Structure 1
């Protein structure tokens, strides 16, 4: 099982963790000598990192730079419930970007590295509102009145698939009184996957083997911008985004019976799935800071997204005789409108903030199913079925950050939410939630910080679960459930942050969660399988991350280790037994090694991603998805033509992804009737990236 403490592959990583705790000088001494030239401490708990610190990594944009901050684990936040759901831990010029669909990653990638004056790393609770509840916050400070840009060209090939380009470009400049930045992101991708599906009966005897070939192609394009200027006595910031995405997959299955895998075909199944997405976003953010230190902020945000999924499939037995022909067509159109205002103090030891937020969400979804036999006679027909779900939500909130002393910071917040979810011609439900939070951060020394945090959060429903859906590949049909309620989570966590030298850091978080109104699949009164709120669950674990400089043994070496050990507990109403929650990965870990060769323009590295297990629970089926461990390697240089060139080899040993399905009758509480093991494999991939700045 991925990431177990007893795993031999994990032992070296944990040994390094332990060694660092007792001998931090070994990892940090060599790097400390030049620390003051690249990093200066502005005040207790605050560190400034200038461009000189990041030069050895040749970053192209602010996102690359944030990824290299010592002791900092990037959190892009969540866009769960409105704009204030959960803030990320990166600010841009002291403010949280006003964006949902592109997210914090895209906002940072729009900023060329040459545009970054410095990155301020604040350890301890930050000002209320902008990143409330985060114990470590990075603030990207940009140069003003400066034009710059980046470009990147990527070529990727997987196995014998055709080589297709990816283009990414950003540009930042002043247009009149506006400070603007633009980003164009595109890619074309062609991949394939082979699999052998082995089916067995209840006794374990092999009943058939099927070969599967899937050819996949992806197309993506996004254009985004932000523009800011002084206006109305404050600062006005606009942002927008347009995107297009298309995924097409052709799946061909050939049943070989008990014969050889290249033997005669007994029956064949073909499916073409096409997914297309269009979306747009427009946001406005105005803020003004008064002489008293109070800051007023107004935010408006609107998003639109349309997704279309089409399946065309056929089944023939023998291979020339058509037995079934079908089509499934699903369309979703989703809109969200958010208005938010806040008023908070930015100076002093006590920083309160108050605000209100209103949101209106709507989803229109439709599904059509038409299946006929080989003679053209309908066997299953679902005429176009349209469902509309809409939500009106209002929230009032208050946050407070208190700098009790130079070592102790406390933060607390309370949100009161009222929402009403209704379906056209169906049910309407009203919900009321109180969502408190509280945290403490204690600075033991310049290198060691401790944190405690408790909070209640409310999940965001996926409105598509209110309507019926179908999966042709796995032969699953799900009913809609208009009676869904948001789930609730109470979380308690303890965190330790330890830094040493210029680049060394260890961060460990222990957490425990109590979840109510858990969303799991069950049988409705109508007899259909659907998502429903069916009980409570617990979830707990440990997240540990470390940056370990290796200068004491290899000058310029850096080892990054991420370990996630998790477990969950849920009483299954179908079996009456305790199990993990659906869509859960218990344990995983990652090890990245990078060596920037001293006095050269070259770097190389290795990456290791552990195996792990995904668990899925359906009415009459239990599914395990187990990607095998994979290895990546890269070589990087700025030696040629003044540009950055990276050659990456991924899935070096071949990507292996095993999927096991266990079938029961009449449900998982009944008798096991068989299994289907799909042994999937992808070829090694090669990626060449050439990038530069101007």
Structure 2
């Protein structure tokens, strides 16, 4: 596999340098884009410019432990936006184009910011000269199974008073999902024993109100305060009719309700101190997440209905205090970071059964309640310097110590020390080329929910709680190569190899239970390609193609069979191509998008299932970039009738020793999706 990966990398590198494309002129040490470079797209915000950056793939922040090292490959004024409330991307969605001076594309190794690799977009934003606002309205609806989504959108207003710049914003992130159609159930001999007609629809609404204050001064100091409050709702309804060959026909209804809220407080203050600058950061996140799932089976025979209800009321908290001190020593850049993080989960779970009288009666479920806490301290020292005019080095090293415990149980707290760090090299081997190499020791994230029992009613399965769960650790190697293609555009290729210990997957728990746990080791290897191809040299003015594709192959030893298999649910491949044509001399643009992806099977102890939607998604859009000062875009997707599919094999017991109980096959309609986008400023 590794030989194939290297062969593919070399072959692609050869194609990138093919003589069919003219040699570009000498490239500067960094690529710089001004608002004029994006004028044909009529952007309203800085984010609108960023998404059109050629050959650049935006990486949003990982769900890292605490704040940790940077992962979002977007900076604002050379600074990482160190918060857990959307980071730089969300801030740029509220930044007017008039305030953007330029976007610089830099190599991560030239920056004194630990964690970044490959290309980084640095958006240079000036202080707002005058008050301004932006708004976006994004209604959509589907032809089948869902309610219209009429209230998606956002609005923000930025102004200043004295040394303080402020932004007030509200955003409604919404989503609708739905599908329906046949579900076929076969016995172990392949005979059809049940036919279901199923309908599903789900909704999500997150309404976020934020206030951001930026303080300029005194002196060279700068501070930021972000206050956010988000109520959210996430109901779903899934129901089916079941026609069985034995005549025992029935129906099932599963409904879920989630109505909670969270708030965020993010503050930082940076100032000169001695030979460098000190930045102090504080983060507080609190989430109240009450969820109720109810499932009822009713029988055509008139037999009493059967049902179960799971109710979970959770309080989730995270508090982070972090300090970063950076200074220069000759050609060297140094940064020392110290961080303390406290994470907690307080879950109260209840389980109910439907009685013959039609009432839900609570049963004992002690494993569904508990408190989990972790206190963690981290320190990282980062060193960066240019070794030659074309070669840059960044080294980061340190570690973390943590205390992890179920505070309501009788198990002793567990204490850990984990080394962390990275080596990052950035190289410009020739004009028009750039390359980077990264070696990182990483500690992954875990969900405290996995420490406690979590019934999965829609799958008739329960994940047992696992008090022995630990975060995965990995050695990660990445190689990235970029090629400027002159007037033709830009292309990039990344190859990676990860060796993971304590990988998270499904494991046996107890005599016959299962749940989320750790397997000893796993590997992942893959490639990703990102390209922007301009068609102007061919005479098709204003047209371009953005193309992203990749594959991933993983291996882990199955805890039951001992055989090697993919990591459960790991993505196998993805392809995403978008064609856009801005018609010269007109305010119109049109385009189309084509995408596909697939994931590995999920391996439980008593079942194996594969769920996907596709095989291909096709969309088309038309856009007017100046309709009374607004940008209006109409889009329709799923033109190739991608469907919801699932193959599920369920066993009478553990799949290594028990026979097959039944095989389930879903092939269900999703239908076309229509959406409208209206953007404007005020």
Q: TM-score, normalised by structure 2?
A: 0.92
Q: Please list, as runs of the form range in 1=range in 2, the aligned pairs for 1:243-322 lying within 5 A after superposition.
A: 243-258=230-245, 266-289=249-272, 292=275, 294-318=276-300, 320-322=302-304
Structure-2 change in CA distance of 1:62 and 1:378 (3 Å): closer
Q: CA deviation at 1:190?
A: 4.9
Q: Is the 8 A contact 1:393 1:419 kept in 2?
A: yes
Question: What residue in structure 2 maps to residue 674 of structure 1?
Answer: 662
Question: What residue in structure 1 maps to residue 105 of structure 2?
Answer: 121
Cα RMSD, aligned residues only: 2.6
Q: CA deviation at 1:286?
A: 0.9
Question: What residue in structure 2 maps to residue 475 of structure 1?
Answer: 460
Question: What residue in structure 2 maps to residue 690 of structure 1?
Answer: 678
Structure-2 change in CA distance of 1:255 and 1:360 (3 Å): same
Query: Which residue of 178, 197, 201 corresponds with 2:187?
Result: 201
Question: What residue in structure 1 maps to residue 91 of structure 2?
Answer: 107
Q: Is the 8 A contact 2:488 2:535 kept in 1?
A: no
Structure-2 change in CA distance of 1:191 and 1:124 (3 Å): closer
Question: What residue in structure 2 maps to residue 35 of structure 1?
Answer: none
Q: CA deviation at 1:303?
A: 0.7
Question: What residue in structure 2 maps to residue 448 of structure 1?
Answer: 433
Query: Which residue of 561, 575, 596 corresponds with 2:561?
Result: 575
Question: What residue in structure 2 maps to residue 70 of structure 1?
Answer: 54
Map Cα deviations across residues 156-179 of structure 1 (whole Å, 9 max, x no partner).
111155532322112211133211
Q: Is the 8 A contact 1:416 1:434 kept in 2?
A: yes
Question: What residue in structure 1 maps to residue 350 of structure 2?
Answer: 368
Map Cα deviations across residues 533-592 of structure 1 (whole Å, 9 max, x no partner).
222111101111111111123111111111111101111120121100112111121111
Structure-2 change in CA distance of 1:99 and 1:414 (3 Å): same
3-state SS of paired residue (2:520): coil
Q: TM-score, normalised by structure 1?
A: 0.91
Q: CA deviation at 1:245?
A: 1.8
Q: Is the 8 A contact 2:110 2:393 kept in 1?
A: no
Q: CA deviation at 1:319?
A: 6.6
- Structure 1 CA distance for aligned equivalents of residues 61 and 637 of structure 2: 28
Question: What residue in structure 2 maps to residue 532 of structure 1?
Answer: 517
Q: Please list, as runs of the form range in 1=range in 2, the aligned pairs for 1:496-535 lying within 5 A after superposition.
A: 496-501=481-486, 504-525=489-510, 527-535=512-520
Query: Which residue of 33, 43, 62 corresponds with 1:59?
Result: 43
Q: Is the 8 A contact 1:588 1:610 kept in 2?
A: yes
- Structure 2 CA distance for aligned equivalents of residues 655 and 90 of structure 1: 33
Structure 2: runs of 5 or more not aligned: none
Q: Is the 8 A contact 1:154 1:166 kept in 2?
A: yes
Q: Is the 8 A contact 1:626 1:659 kept in 2?
A: yes
Map Cα deviations across residues 9-31 of structure 1 (whole Å, 9 max, x no partner).
xxxxx9999865414636x98xx
Question: What residue in structure 2 maps to residue 350 of structure 1?
Answer: 332
- Structure 2 CA distance for aligned equivalents of residues 126 and 299 of structure 1: 24
Structure-2 change in CA distance of 1:411 and 1:116 (3 Å): same
Question: What residue in structure 1 maps to residue 639 of structure 2?
Answer: 652
Structure 1: runs of 5 or more not aligned: 6-13, 33-39
Question: What residue in structure 2 maps to residue 546 of structure 1?
Answer: 531
Q: CA deviation at 1:693?
A: 1.6
Map Cα deviations across residues 292-323 of structure 1 (whole Å, 9 max, x no partner).
5x221111111111212211221111175432
Is structure 2 residue 621 aligned with structure 1 residue 638?
no
3-state SS of paired residue (1:298): strand
Q: How many residues align?
A: 666
Q: CA deviation at 1:406?
A: 0.7
Q: Please list, as runs of the form range in 1=range in 2, the aligned pairs for 1:587-666 lying within 5 A after superposition.
A: 587-628=573-614, 629-666=616-653
- Structure 2 CA distance for aligned equivalents of residues 335 and 536 of structure 1: 30
Query: Which residue of 9, 17, 21 corresponds with 1:25?
Result: 21
Question: What residue in structure 2 maps to residue 210 of structure 1?
Answer: 196
3-state SS of paired residue (2:400): strand
Q: Is the 8 A contact 2:70 2:116 kept in 1?
A: no
Structure-2 change in CA distance of 1:320 and 1:92 (3 Å): farther
